[in-house]
Structure 1
Amino acid sequence: MKVIVLGSGIVGTASAWFLRKAGHQVTVLERQPGAAMETSFANGGQISVSHAEPWANPGTLLKIVKWLGREDAPLLLRLRWDRQQWAWCLRFLRECTAGRVADNIRQIVAIAEYSRQTLHAVRAETGISYDALQRGILHFYTDEREFRKSLHAAALMRELGCPRNSLDADGVVSVEPALRHLRHKIVGGDFTATDESGDVHQFSTALAARAAAAGVDFRFNTTVTRLLAEGGGTCARIKGVEIIDAQGRHELLCADAYVVAAGSFSAPLLKPLGIALPIYPGKGYSATYRIVDGNAAPTVSLTDDGCKLVFSRLGNRLRVAGTCELNGYTRELNDTRCDAITRRVRELFPDACDYDNPVYWSGLRPLTPSNVPYIGKTKFGNLFLNTGHGTLGWTMGCGSGRAIADIVSGRRPEVDFVFTGMPRVSPARRIQTSMARTS
């Protein structure tokens, strides 16, 4: 089949790669001049299966109230006269019940672990280098109450097969000695040795280059204006996508199937078709510092629970990312929030980096109320979704791309995940299907 993929972040690029491997003729449409230039450009670098707790949980509600009015709050909600924002917030509230949280965690862990294994396979096949470190992820706490809460989450992760092991303060420092001067403030942590980190932009651009060499047509500097539908009911289909190309010319492109992997911009693109995706942009920040003292900088990827920041060592750089700002589609940098990141990093690792010349960046994470992405079918027979990965696009990207390639090809992915528009198959049935395929 001829397949058009909309978007070339990690999710869109991985989709194109696996669709091509499945034998399809693939075109990727991207408004930027290259792959992974938006949300996949400078994120926190973590491939984190272990910390799959969604933002929507009972504890978050109290924190949001506490953080109101704080410009440097980890989660900053700027209420607007925006129907999309209010509708998203109401659905977010509905996802905060204990039962919903537990189910959402299971979904996130399933696709995240599948994706981690898929990334390993892609890396082995292609030899792509992206400053990868397979030294695990260490989450440390400076608040006793938050640490106690984490023990339950860690136990649930272990129940789901993810080796997230709780540590005391000495155990935290043993895993990452660069935290030793903070020992008196740390109350505990947890460590998952199977998690890893790496530069998503390096990986995505390298994978895009290999996909192009394999025959994928990447059309950069191309803006999608709308999707055109035809038919109705069970016969409804997409007949083409209108674009403005790099030369400013209007054109209609047609294909047998279409995959929407446009991140936060998926919702407004699909709304005219009557597909109301509850995806809202969550602006995340990152800062990248040049490391000047390698011994003083962390070598294990870290998560600082108190400030909701993640740290990843990318070669001779330290990438620090986090916070979330719900404020529409603006990517404007807020100096207060940028300064708060540098202040915290300098406090933790005072001699590690050049703090006078940070490189700040922001990206719009495509947040669903549940943090569970939309991967699967729509009411249009040839239109598919691969979007809404929130803060875990890097973690879920390769597996999501592999899964959507299976779905477009008429196969069911071998992962126990609730795919959009598809009936769920029980784990027992899935095992039987997998055994039949391999026999």
Structure 2
Amino acid sequence: MQVAVIGAGVVGVCTAYFLAEAGHEVVVMERRNNIAEEASFGDAGILAADAVAPWAAPGMPKSLFSLLMKPESPLFLNRTWDPALWSWMRRWVKECDIERYRHNRRLMHRVAAYSQEVMQYLRDRHQLDYEQTTGYLQVYRTERELQQAKAAFDFLTESGIRHDILAMEDVRLLEPALNSSARLAGGLHLPQAESGNCPLFARQIRQLAQAMGVEFHFGCDVKAIHQSYRGVLMQVDDLNLSADAVVLATGADSAALLAPLGMRLPTQPVRYYAATATIRNFESVPLNALMDETYKTSIARMGNRIRIAGTAELGARTATQREAALNTLLKVAYDWFPDACHYNAATFWSGNSLMLPDGVPLIGSTSIRNVFLNIGHGTAGWAMAAGAGKLAADIVSERATDIAVDGLSSLRYQH
């Protein structure tokens, strides 16, 4: 078939690759001037499938909302009355129920663990090097945070996932560069998890996709999608282009294309922030990718640089970067690895990802014939991209998928 993929982030590029591998004629349309220029560009770099979890977790509303008043909060909420945002927040709070959390995390882990296998396949087949390192460490500053993480620890144990719950002394032995004066209660270590450079990986997959005949068109603003006698009709700038099928990998802008089709899904663009700093002292850099559970901020090495990423801003009205969010990133970096980088010369980024209340992405068919989705991965976009791309390609091709896809389609919201 002729298949159009809208969006050239890491999810869209992976989708195009696997569609081409399945034998389709594929065109990718991207409104920016290159691939991976939005959420994928500022990706945290974490490929920890076993750590992928919904933000909607037991105790999370109380924890996050208590931080809203603090200057270094990991959450920023536009207090202007926005009915759509507050409706989304109510749904999100309901998903923090323990049973909903377990259900949602199982679905997310299913996709992320499968994606890890697909990444291994891609790396082995094509000898990819995307500045990857192994090991992921979650650090907890207080005993209270450790107690709140019990549901997450229980999930890992019940799922048979290799992990180590570490006392403070063991965390410092595992990560000797940690600032000795930083407050620390304990940690969780996932030894098999990875981190790396997401935009570099996306560029490598693009080259492989192009070698299979995939065409990439940039500066294309897809304004609307309509059904047609042969498949779908897309309004691209002032042109009408047709295809047999279309896959939306459109990230934060998905709602504008879906609403005219009658799909009003509970999506919410969430702005995330990242800082990238050049390493100045290689003896002081982390050996593992690190997640500060207090500030929901990660630190990962990418070659000779460090990426610090996190904080979430809901209801952002402008593209202006929030100074408090940038300060939170730098605080976390200085707290844990004060001598590692030239933080005063860091470059900053902010951009939107699409999030659903339950955190589970939308992958596969919709109620609209020949329109498929691969959206809503939130901050776990790269961790799910390869697997989600393969799943979407198999569904478009009407092939049996390697893993179950129940619970992943948009139909869970359309009843």
TM-score range for the pair, normalised by the shorter chain length: over 0.9
Deviations 1:216-257 (A, max 9, x none): 0100111111101358xxxxx85311102xxxxx21111111
Shift of residue 58, structure 1, vs aligned partner:
3.0
Equivalent in the alignment of 1:138: 137
Shift of residue 179, structure 1, vs aligned partner:
1.3
Kept in 2, the 8 Å contact 1:67–1:76? The answer is no
* 1:415 lines up with 2:408 in the alignment: no
Distance 1:422 1:71, change over 3 A: closer
Which residue, out of 354, 362, 369, partners 2:350? 362
- Give the SS at the match of 1:166: strand
Deviations 1:69-97 (A, max 9, x none): 33531112213343331221122122121
Equivalent in the alignment of 1:243: 236
Equivalent in the alignment of 1:228: 226
- Give the SS at the match of 2:178: helix
Shift of residue 343, structure 1, vs aligned partner:
2.6
Equivalent in the alignment of 1:437: none
One-letter identity of the residue aligned with 1:240: L
One-letter identity of the residue aligned with 2:148: K
- Give the SS at the match of 1:295: helix
Equivalent in the alignment of 1:127: 127
Question: How many residues align structurally?
Answer: 412
Shift of residue 151, structure 1, vs aligned partner:
3.8
Deviations 1:21-72 (A, max 9, x none): 0000000000011110000002210012222331112311112331233353
Supply the distance in 1 between the matched residues of 2:396 and 2:331 (Cα, whole angstroms): 47
Kept in 2, the 8 Å contact 1:33–1:221? The answer is yes
Shift of residue 199, structure 1, vs aligned partner:
0.7
Q: Which moved more, 1:328-337 or 1:106-115?
A: 328-337
* 1:315 lines up with 2:303 in the alignment: yes
Kept in 1, the 8 Å contact 2:269–2:354? The answer is yes
Equivalent in the alignment of 1:191: 189
Distance 1:329 1:241, change over 3 A: farther
Supply the distance in 2 between the matched residues of 1:418 and 1:136 (Cα, whole angstroms): 31
One-letter identity of the residue aligned with 1:396: M
Supply the distance in 2 between the matched residues of 1:296 and 1:58 (Cα, whole angstroms): 35
For structure 1, list consecutive stretches of 5 or more residues without a partner in the other structure: 232-236, 245-249, 425-439
* 1:352 lines up with 2:345 in the alignment: no
Aligned-CA RMSD value: 1.8
One-letter identity of the residue aligned with 2:137: L
Supply the distance in 2 between the matched residues of 1:417 and 1:162 (Cα, whole angstroms): 21
Kept in 2, the 8 Å contact 1:224–1:243? The answer is yes
* 1:18 lines up with 2:6 in the alignment: no
Task: State how 1:9-408 maps to structure 2 within 5 Å.
Answer: 9-133=9-133, 135-179=134-178, 181-182=180-181, 185-230=183-228, 239-244=232-237, 250-328=238-316, 330-408=318-396
Shift of residue 331, structure 1, vs aligned partner:
3.4
Distance 1:414 1:329, change over 3 A: farther
Supply the distance in 2 between the matched residues of 1:77 and 1:422 (Cα, whole angstroms): 27
Q: Which moved more, 1:206-215 or 1:81-90?
A: 81-90
One-letter identity of the residue aligned with 1:166: I
Supply the distance in 2 between the matched residues of 1:407 and 1:414 (Cα, whole angstroms): 11
One-letter identity of the residue aligned with 2:157: R
Deviations 1:262-290 (A, max 9, x none): 00111121101100121111111010011
Deviations 1:78-135 (A, max 9, x none): 13343331221122122121111110011111111000111111111222221111x2
Deviations 1:195-226 (A, max 9, x none): 10001011001211221121001001111111
- Give the SS at the match of 2:192: coil
Give percent identity, aligned residues only: 35
- Give the SS at the match of 2:59: helix
Equivalent in the alignment of 2:5: 5
Distance 1:395 1:421, change over 3 A: closer
One-letter identity of the residue aligned with 1:158: T
- Give the SS at the match of 1:96: coil
One-letter identity of the residue aligned with 1:268: A
One-letter identity of the residue aligned with 2:208: R
Distance 1:331 1:164, change over 3 A: farther
Supply the distance in 2 between the matched residues of 1:410 and 1:417 (Cα, whole angstroms): 13
Kept in 2, the 8 Å contact 1:238–1:380? The answer is no
One-letter identity of the residue aligned with 1:256: D
Kept in 2, the 8 Å contact 1:291–1:354? The answer is yes
Shift of residue 420, structure 1, vs aligned partner:
4.1
One-letter identity of the residue aligned with 2:187: G
- Give the SS at the match of 1:208: helix
For structure 2, list consecutive stretches of 5 or more residues without a partner in the other structure: none
Equivalent in the alignment of 1:430: none
- Give the SS at the match of 2:284: coil
One-letter identity of the residue aligned with 1:35: I
Distance 1:202 1:361, change over 3 A: same
Shift of residue 412, structure 1, vs aligned partner:
2.9
Supply the distance in 2 between the matched residues of 1:19 and 1:72 (Cα, whole angstroms): 43
Supply the distance in 1 between the matched residues of 2:179 and 2:37 (Cα, whole angstroms): 36
Kept in 2, the 8 Å contact 1:154–1:165? The answer is no
Shift of residue 334, structure 1, vs aligned partner:
1.1
